[in-house]
C-alpha cells in the first residue's frame, strides 16, 4: 500500500516533516518514504500495470509514528472510575488491591482486551504492561495482544512480600500475594512460552514490585537473570513521599538503593520517579536507565510532579505512560502528551520548558528507546516496522494548523485518530477498530467489571457520591 498526500512527522534523526508526503508499506516494513509526487511516479504512474502499488489518499491527515506507552496496567481498565479522588495508599489498599485480588483469569483477559482496544483506537501501537499478576492469567494477556495486532512488552509481576514500602499497615489483598516460585519463576516460564511470539510483537519482561514488596535477595536474583537471559525490567519507584521515606530508613536514596541491588541500566524502565534528588538524576544518566513519566496519574493521586526538565537536561531518556485507568480514567496517550507539555510550565512558571517537540519525542522515539526497540519502531524511516497513525485534522477542533507538531500535542485527542497501522496491518480505519469486535469487548468488560466489584464487596463504595434516582 502507498499512503499519499499526508503531512508526515518522521521523528527521524533530522526530525524531518514531509509536507504532501507518502509512505510505501511492503509487508510489515516501511519500504520508501518521501514526497507524494515522487513516490506516485515511482510506484504507480511510472510502472507497468502489473507492478503498480495500491494507493490510499490521506489528504488532511498528519501521520506520526505509532505512540508508545511506557507504563500501562491493562488489568486496571476493568476498574475505571472505581477509585476516584483518593491518594495512592488508600487508593491501593482500600480499593484497587481489594478489587484486583478478586480477579479471575477471564476477568484479566477481558481487561486486557478493552485496554488494547482503547489504545489502538487512540493511536498507541506499542505498550509496556507494568505488573501483570499471576491470577489475571498471563496467557490471556498474550492471547489478547496476539489477536488484536498491537505490539506489547509484557511485565509479569515479581514479588515476595505483600507490603507497601515495608509498612505492615499497607498490606496487599491476600489474593494478590505471590512468592518467588509463582512470580519470578512464573515470569521465566512465560518468557520461554511467549517471548517473540506474534511475529515478534510480544516481548516478556520482569515487572518487579516497588521496593518494600521485593526482598533484596529476590531483586538480585532477578537482575542476574535479566543480564543472563536478556529480559528487561520495569518497576515503580519513588512515586510517593512514603517511598522516599522507606529508602531513607535503609540509609539510601531511591537510586542508591536501586544500584545496591543492580537494578540500574539500559534494560530497566523505572516508573513515576517523582521524589528524586540531584544524585539520583545523575545516577540515572550515568547508567542509561530509562524513566516512564505519568503526569496524569501523579497529579490525580496527588503524588507530586516528576522533575522531568531536570531529567531531560541531564540526558536521561524519558518516555510517557498513561498508568492505569483507575488513576487516569483513560488510556489515551494524546491526552497524556498535552498534560506532559503543560504541567511543568505551570510548576516552573517557564513556558519554554518541555516544548511540544520534546513531548512528541517522549511518546514515540524515546519510548522505543526505553523498550529497546528504537532500531525497529519509534520513527518513520525506511527499513523500520510500519507502525504509524494518521490524525484527521479536517475538523473544527483542529483547524487552522500552523505547526503540525503543536496540533498533534496540544489540540488532538485519541478521538481524532483516523488510521492505525501496526506491523503493516491496518487495525483501525476511519476511526473504526478492525482487529477486534469493539462492542463485544466493552460489553464483556462492563459485565465483568461490575461482577468484580460485587465479588469484592465494594459495590456501595464505588457508586456515585451524588444520589442516582
| Pairing label, strands 163-164, 167-171 | antiparallel
Residue closest to 62 by CA, chosen among 93, 116, 21: 21
Q: How many CB atoms lie within 10 A of CB 359?
A: 26
Asked if residue 391 and residue 348 are part of one domain, the reply reads no
Q: Which residues does the chain have with pLDDT short of 50?
A: none
Q: How many domains does the chain have?
A: 2
**Cβ contact 444:113 at 8 Å:** yes
Is 343 among the domain residues? yes
Residue 237, domain CATH: 3.20.20.140
Is 163 among the domain residues? yes
Residue closest to 160 by CA, chosen among 103, 216, 206: 216
Is 464 among the domain residues? no
Asked if residue 225 and residue 90 are part of one domain, the reply reads yes
Distance CA 343, CA 247 (A): 27
Asked if residue 170 and residue 43 are part of one domain, the reply reads no
3-state helix/strand/coil string of 82-132: CCCCCCHHHHHHHHHHHHHCCCCHHHHHHHHHHHHHHHHHCCEEEEEEEEE
Asked if residue 173 and residue 195 are part of one domain, the reply reads yes
Q: Coil, strand or helix: which one is 246?
A: helix
Is 357 among the domain residues? yes
Is 124 among the domain residues? yes
Asked if residue 397 and residue 315 are part of one domain, the reply reads no
Asked if residue 168 and residue 110 are part of one domain, the reply reads yes
**Cβ contact 10:377 at 8 Å:** no
Asked if residue 326 and residue 283 are part of one domain, the reply reads yes
What pLDDT shows up at residue 177?
A: 95
Asked if residue 227 and residue 266 are part of one domain, the reply reads yes
Asked if residue 323 and residue 246 are part of one domain, the reply reads yes
Asked if residue 399 and residue 362 are part of one domain, the reply reads no
Residue 412, domain CATH: 2.30.40.10
Q: Which domain holds residue 52?
A: 2-64+379-433
| Backbone dihedral angles phi then psi of residue 465, each to the nearest 5 degrees | -75, -20
Asked if residue 329 and residue 183 are part of one domain, the reply reads yes
Asked if residue 232 and residue 139 are part of one domain, the reply reads yes
Is 460 among the domain residues? no
What phi-psi label fits residue 294: left (phi over 0), alpha (psi between -120 and 50 degrees) or beta?
beta
What pLDDT shows up at residue 86?
A: 87
Chain segment 31-56, per-residue pLDDT in tens:
999 999 999 999 999 999 889 999 99
Cα-based distances in Å from 64 to 110, 219, 307, 392, 405? 29, 38, 27, 11, 9
Amino acid at each position: 500500500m502507498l499512503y499519499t498526500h499526508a503531512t508526515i512527522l518522521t521523528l527521524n534523526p533530522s526530525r524531518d516533516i514531509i509536507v504532501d508526503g507518502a509512505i510505501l508499506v511492503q509487508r510489515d516494513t516501511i519500504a520508501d518514504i518521501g514526497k507524494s509526487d515522487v513516490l506516485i511516479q515511482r510506484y504507480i504512474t511510472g510502472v507497468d500495470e502489473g507492478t503498480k502499488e495500491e494507493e490510499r489518499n490521506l489528504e488532511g491527515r498528519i501521520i506520526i509514528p505509532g505512540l508508545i506507552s511506557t507504563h500501562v496496567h491493562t488489568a486496571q481498565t476493568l476498574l475505571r472510575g472505581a477509585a476516584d479522588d483518593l491518594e495512592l495508599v488508600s487508593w491501593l489498599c482500600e480499593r484497587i488491591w481489594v478489587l484486583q485480588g478478586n480477579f479471575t483469569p477471564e476477568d484479566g483477559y477481558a481487561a486486557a482486551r478493552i485496554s488494547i482496544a482503547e489504545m489502538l483506537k487512540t493511536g498507541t501501537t506499542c505498550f509496556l504492561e507494568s505488573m501483570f499478576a499471576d491470577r489475571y492469567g498471563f496467557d490471556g494477556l498474550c492471547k489478547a495482544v496476539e489477536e488484536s495486532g498491537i505490539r506489547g512488552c509484557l511485565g509479569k509481576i515479581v514479588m515476595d512480600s505483600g507490603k507497601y514500602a515495608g509498612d505492615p499497615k499497607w498490606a496487599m489483598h491476600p489474593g494478590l500475594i505471590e512468592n518467588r516460585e509463582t512470580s519470578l519463576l512464573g515470569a521465566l516460564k512465560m518468557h520461554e512460552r511467549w517471548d517473540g511470539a506474534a511475529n515478534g510483537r510480544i516481548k516478556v519482561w520482569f515487572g518487579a514490585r516497588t521496593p518494600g514488596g521485593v526482598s533484596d535477595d529476590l531483586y538480585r536474583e532477578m537482575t542476574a537473570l535479566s543480564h543472563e537471559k536478556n529480559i528487561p525490567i520495569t518497576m515503580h519507584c519513588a512515586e510517593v513521599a512514603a517511598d522516599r521515606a522507606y529508602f531513607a530508613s535503609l540509609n539510601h536514596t531511591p537510586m542508591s538503593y536501586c544500584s545496591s541491588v543492580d537494578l540500574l541500566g539500559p534494560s530497566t524502565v523505572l516508573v513515576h520517579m517523582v521524589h528524586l534528588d540531584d544524585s539520583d538524576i545523575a545516577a540515572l544518566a550515568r547508567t542509561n536507565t530509562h524513566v516512564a513519566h505519568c503526569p496524569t496519574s501523579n497529579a490525580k493521586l496527588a503524588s507530586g510532579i516528576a522533575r522531568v526538565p531536570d531529567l531531560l537536561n541531564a540526558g536521561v531518556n524519558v518516555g510517557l505512560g498513561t498508568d492505569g485507568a483507575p488513576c487516569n480514567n483513560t488510556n489515551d496517550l494524546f491526552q497524556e502528551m498535552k498534560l506532559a507539555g503543560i504541567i511543568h510550565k505551570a510548576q516552573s512558571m517557564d513556558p519554554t520548558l518541555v516544548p511540544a517537540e520534546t513531548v512528541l519525542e517522549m511518546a514515540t522515539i524515546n519510548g522505543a528507546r526505553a523498550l529497546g526497540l528504537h532500531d525497529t519502531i519509534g520513527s518513520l524511516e525506511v527499513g523500520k516496522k510500519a507502525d504509524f497513525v494518521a490524525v484527521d485534522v479536517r475538523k473544527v477542533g483542529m483547524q487552522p494548523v500552523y505547526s503540525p507538531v503543536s496540533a498533534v500535542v496540544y489540540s488532538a485527542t485519541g478521538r481524532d485518530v483516523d488510521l492505525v497501522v501496526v506491523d503493516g496491518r491496518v487495525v483501525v480505519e476511519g476511526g473504526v477498530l478492525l482487529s477486534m469486535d469493539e462492542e463485544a469487548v466493552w460489553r464483556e468488560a462492563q459485565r465483568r467489571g461490575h461482577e468484580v466489584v460485587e465479588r469484592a464487596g465494594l459495590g456501595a463504595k464505588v457508586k456515585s457520591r451524588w444520589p442516582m434516582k
